[in-house]
Amino acid sequence: MAAHLKKRVYEEFTKVVQQQHEDLSSKKLRLTKPSKSAALHVDLCKATSPADALQYLLQFARKPVEVESVEGVVRILLEHYYKENDASVRLKIASLLGLLSKTAGFSPDCIMDDAINTLQNEKSHQVLAQLLDTLLVIGTKLTENPSVRMRLVEVACKHLTDSSHGVRNKCLQLIGCLGPVEKGAAKEAESQAAKDVQKIIGDHFNDQDPRVRTAAIKAMLQLHERGLKLQQAIYSQACKLLADDYEQVRSAAVQLIWVLSQLYPESIVPIPSSNEEIRLVDDAFGKICHMVSDGSWVVRVQAAKLLGSMQQVSSHFLEQTLDKKLMSDLRRKRTAHERAKELYSSGEFSSGRKWGDDAPKEEIDTGAVNLIESGACGAFVHGLEDEMYEVRIAAVEALCMLAQSSPSFAEKCLDFLVDMFNDEIEEVRLQSIHTMRKISNNITLREDQLDTVLAVLEDSSRDIREALHELLCCTNVSTKEGIHLALVELLKNLTKYPTDRESIWKCLKFLGSRHPTLVLPLVPELLSTHPFFDTPEPDMDDPAYIAVLVLIFNAAKSCPTMPALFSDHTFRHYAYLRDSLSHLVPPLRLPGRKLVSSPVSPSITPHEDPSQQFLHQSLERVYNLQHLDPQGIQELLEFTIRDLQRLGELQSELAGMADFTATYLQCQLLLIKALQEKLWNVAAPLYLKQNALASAAAKQILEETYKMEFMYSGVESSQVVIIHHMRLQAKALQLIVTARTTRGVEPLFGMCEKFLQEVDSFQRCFISELPHMQGSFVDKLLDLMPRLVTSKPSEVVKILQTTLRQSTFLHLPLPEQLHRATANIIEPTGESDNPLRFTSGLVVALDVDATLEHVQDPQGTVKVQVLYPDGQAQIIHPKPADFRNPGPGRHRLITQVYLSHTAWTEPCQIEVRLLLAYNSNRSKASAKIPKSTWSESLEALPQSENGIEGTIPFSKPVKVYIMPKPARR
């Protein structure tokens, strides 16, 4: 084999020599590519000093190498490797070998032997380490081959005794990545040197070099990741490593302990210096807790993070993490939390305003105080007070995860989370609010806690406030005072930050519907009704009053006695709000008024939903009637489209599906209209009109197809193929129209060729889908392909026209879930009559606030468009940080748009809208196809044609009144 390969290299080599000699004389030499390996060889031979050679190698490394010539290059490199005396050059060669064996499509097993051989005579430790690294690359490429792996592991074991840490490091890494995982493989190899990989790695846990120790632990973790079950015996070793002097060792050891605690949670381990025994997971938990007060913050972060995922820990261990026995002058002292709780339960209100309020009471037995507990005591108290915010965030996250799985713990950690609302770093505050929201179904807030929570409502950061509103949406409040307090604070928030209106209303909606019985006694006070006197009717446009009403109406939904307390105007206001803010005000059963028929009766389960059935039936109808007369088809399509559109309006959950199919049918309708025969048969003078119609239709179809492809989330490849097919038809139509209108053949040549290429690429992309497309346009076209390629443009056009007419129209399968991307601009509202005045030539910032739904990757696709009255359009790309993600499928865009214009004589309106940018290169079709099958063909395709970029407007435009004033001089 090797000999054969060598021959090949020399063959390559000789070719190039020929080229050099005869250079331009012979034409046939253009066919042979200049061989990389040969060029390299020449370069290396020319090199006079190691520095020169190194330069050549560095240059060489910058260029990619084709798969075919990799092997040749490797041979050349190896040859030089043996000759080279300078270690740095050998090092570079070794690293190049590794790089080259990474080349896709190249199988490095042929160079493995040589790489192993080079190891034998190598003296330099650095080069050795690099060579082992190369072997690691080779090994990872050949993971399926157990014998190769065994061999490499053996090599690694042999070099484990090397005196350089770098070499030992790499060896351990290699063993970790390639060591046998399955039991069978290990048995079979028992005769050989590679025995128990775990033992070999474990022996290096107390290597003298910290880097090697780290590598050993990492290798062990790597083995675990690859599926090897680690032995429990390692646990005690790992525990010793926790006291290591070096942070990276400790950090890795914490991970290892965590892994073991997950593997053997229930085994029993003894507590040193006593006779007791505890579960391993508890022991590990205690040890990791201890690391939360480590000297290095990297370790602290690591430890705090891992604590969160240790769910099997016994509850008394868990609760210890929040316990820190306070004392002052050796007397037991209660924490502020305990005092607050006691005050609350004793019914006394004011907080400690006296000096010595926190004076310690009982004496403590000095012997019983344990200042450094071996257990988990106070781990979270420390973590949450840490100096670095990274640690604090990790601790909050861990608290969240643990509290989600343990309600009693959730109750206990509440005080601490509430405290975190006052952290100095906003990120931490936000994180703790989110955490609180996540565990909120496990907890009920006490009044004093609620007080602290509500205090944050005045925060100037919008994110914090909104997160808090979200939190209040799903909190349980225990008393009516609590509800009142919350309402008062929210109203305060509303007056301070009027922009929070929507979010506060929504928050009150949930607050009301969750606590109807608590709201009930508050109603007279809130509505300020009086048993004897009529009170003035409140202003209906007051956001605060609306907020109160939202709370009450939502509470009234499940509390039938409440409407009795309403005064007359309340009922009127109800009717008004039910109409104007229907998403916030629920339908109520009011006395003397019959309930307006509810559009959805909740008793019907979705799959027997009649509207869904209706959707499918109407589609069936369309698909079945294929050979009706054109007039009939057109009418049927028109009706169906109308039906579907109405259905979408009525049924919000089917809106996506209905719109999608309606759009598709619309395309089909346009196509049929454009192809009507009589239009094409008219005389030349009338030609222009029908031409306009057909080309407009083609254009519209193209636009619609892009909408279908990019505006809906949940579109699958079976839909994409239909969409692309429709687009192809539109393009064919375009071609036909142009062929009819243009004189001369020259431009047609190019167009035909382009179209054929497109058909070709369609075939490549959707080869798997083609069998489903019998009788379709593309199916017929592909049959005719050989003829098309050879025939003239005029003929092509003719063929296209007939196929287009004859082809049947394809059944569009519907996916499970389909959602149309929508955007709603909340701000600017477009209601203002006061123009935004600014000096011309300067900029004015316009705040834009919009909600986006079902938009994938909004950071990349959503743009803001500003249209000036003079037709000038401006597209603004919002910063990625302007997008928030409040929930799955929902996004929030809060950004500023800078406007500027020359002076106007009077104020005028500009339009602001959101656009969805698309690029057909990133289409779903290309993402779905596995890369290996068509990566080459993609390269062959002309890029320009494939990458059509465009934008789809997907929000209602909002008008903003602006007035650029001329600058004063």
Partner 1 sequence: MPEIKVTPLGAGQDVGRSCILVSIAGKNVMLDCGMHMGYNDDRRFPDFSYITQNGRLTDFLDCVIISHFHLDHCGALPYFSEMVGYDGPIYMTHPTKAICPILLEDYRKITVDKKGETNFFTSQMIKDCMKKVVAVHLHQTVQVDEELEIKAYYAGHVLGAAMFQIKVGCESVVYTGDYNMTPDRHLGAAWIDKCRPDLLITESTYATTIRDSKRCRERDFLKKVHETVERGGKVLIPVFALGRAQELCILLETFWERMNLKAPIYFSTGLTEKANHYYKLFITWTNQKIRKTFVQRNMFEFKHIKAFDRAFADNPGPMVVFATPGMLHAGQSLQIFRKWAGNEKNMVIMPGYCVQGTVGHKILSGQRKLEMEGRQILEVKMQVEYMSFSAHADAKGIMQLIRQAEPRNVLLVHGEAKKMEFLKQKIEQEFHVSCYMPANGETTTIFTNPSIPVDISLGLLKRETAIGLAPDVKKPKLMHGTLIMKDNSFRLVSPEQALKELGLAEHQLRFTCRVHIQDPRKEHETVLRVYNHLKGVLKDYSVQHLPDGSITVESILIQATAHSEDQGTKVLLVSWTYQDEELGSYLTSLLKKGLPPSTA
Query: Is residue 43 part of the contact set for partner 1 (CB under 8 A)?
Result: no
Please identify which residue in 282, 323, 459, 758 interacts with partner 1, judged by CB under 8 A. 459
Per CB under 8 A, the segment of 420-428, 530-538, 742-750, 901-909 that binds partner 1 is: 420-428
Chosen residue from 29, 181, 263, 326 binding partner 1 by CB under 8 A: 326
**Minimum distance from CB of 336 to partner 1 (Å)?**
4
Min dist. Cβ of residue 285 to partner 1 (A): 19
Residue 453 burial (C-beta neighbours within 10 Å; 0-12, 13-18, 19+): buried
Q: How far is CA 861 from CA 418, 847, 949, in A?
A: 38, 19, 11
How far apart are the C-alpha atoms of 325 and 334, rounded to whole Å?
Answer: 8
Using the rule CB under 8 A, which residue among 48, 120, 121, 208 binds partner 1? 208
The single residue among 7, 46, 496, 754 that binds partner 1, judged by CB under 8 A, is 496
Options 116-124, 173-181, 455-463, 700-708: segment touching partner 1 (CB under 8 A): 455-463
One residue of 109, 458, 635, 638 binding partner 1 per CB under 8 A: 458
Which of 389, 687, 868, 934 touches partner 1 by CB under 8 A? 389
The nearer residue to partner 1, 419 or 447, going by C-beta atoms, is 419
- The smaller minimum CB distance to partner 1, of residues 61 and 326, is found at 326
Residue 681 has what DSSP assignment?
T
Question: Cβ of residue 366: shortest distance to partner 1, in angstroms?
Answer: 6
Instruction: Give the span between the Cα atoms of 410 and 422, in whole angstroms.
Output: 19
Coil, strand or helix at 924: helix
- Per-residue binding string, partner 1, 233-272, x by CB under 8 A, is ------------x---------------------------
Residues 162-181 that bind partner 1 (CB under 8 A): 163
- Contacting range for partner 1; rule: CB under 8 A; set: 2-10, 78-86, 354-362, 820-828: 354-362
The pairing of strands 908-919 and 819-820 is unpaired
CA 186 to chain CA centroid, Å, is 40
- In angstroms, the CA 396 to CA 383 distance is 8
- For position 206 contacting partner 1 by CB under 8 A, the verdict is yes
Residue located via tokens 């214009």:
901
Q: What is the 3-state secondary structure (H, E, C) of 145-201?
A: CHHHHHHHHHHHHHHHHCCCHHHHHHHHHHHHHHCCCCHHHHHHCCCCCCCCHHHHH
Q: Hey, CA dihedral for 593, 599, 604, 610, is it positive or negative? A: positive
Please give the single-letter amino acid code of residue 437: R
Q: How many whole angstroms separate alpha carbon 586 and alpha carbon 581? A: 9
Applying CB under 8 A, among 207, 282, 466, 704 the residue interacting with partner 1 is 207
* In the complex, least distance from residue 249 CB atom to partner 1, rounded to whole angstroms: 12
Tell me whether residue 55 or residue 293 sits nearer to partner 1 (CB atom). 293
> In one letter, which amino acid is 932?
S
Per DSSP, the chain holds a count of helices (H) and strands (E) of 43, 18
**Contacts for 692 with CB less than 8 Å, ≥ 6 apart:** none
H/E stretch holding 542 reads none
Q: Which residues, numbered 358-387, are part of the site for partner 1 (CB under 8 A)?
A: 366, 369-372, 378, 381, 384-387
Q: Nearest approach, Cβ of 133 to partner 1 (angstroms)?
A: 22
Binders of partner 1 among residues 279 to 318 (CB under 8 A) are: 293, 295
Cα–Cα distance for residue pair 194/178, rounded to 1 Å: 12
Closer to partner 1 by CB, 12 or 423: give it: 423
Which of residues 14 and 370 has its CB atom nearest to partner 1 in the complex?
370
Name which position in 161, 597, 598, 790 contacts partner 1 (CB under 8 A).
161
Nearer to partner 1, 84 or 244 (CB): 244
Q: Given candidates 424, 541, 568, 939, which one binds partner 1 under the rule CB under 8 A?
A: 424
- 762: its two tokens: 């369609």
- Which neighbouring-strand residues pair with 959? 911
Is residue 329 a contact point for partner 1 (CB under 8 A)?
yes
Q: For partner 1, which stretch binds (CB under 8 A), given 323-331, 720-728, 734-742, 840-848?
A: 323-331
The tokens describing 551, both together, are 């709370």
**Radius of gyration, alpha carbons of the chain:** 37
Stretch that binds partner 1, among 279-287, 328-336, 629-637, 699-707 (CB under 8 A): 328-336
Q: How many CB atoms lie within 10 A of CB 794?
A: 12
CA 627 – CA 804 distance, rounded (Å): 15
Tokens of 965: 């004033």
Q: Interface with partner 1 by CB under 8 A: which residues?
A: 161, 163, 206-208, 245, 293, 295, 324-330, 333, 335-337, 351, 353-357, 366, 369-372, 378, 381, 384-389, 416, 419-420, 422-425, 452, 455, 458-461, 496
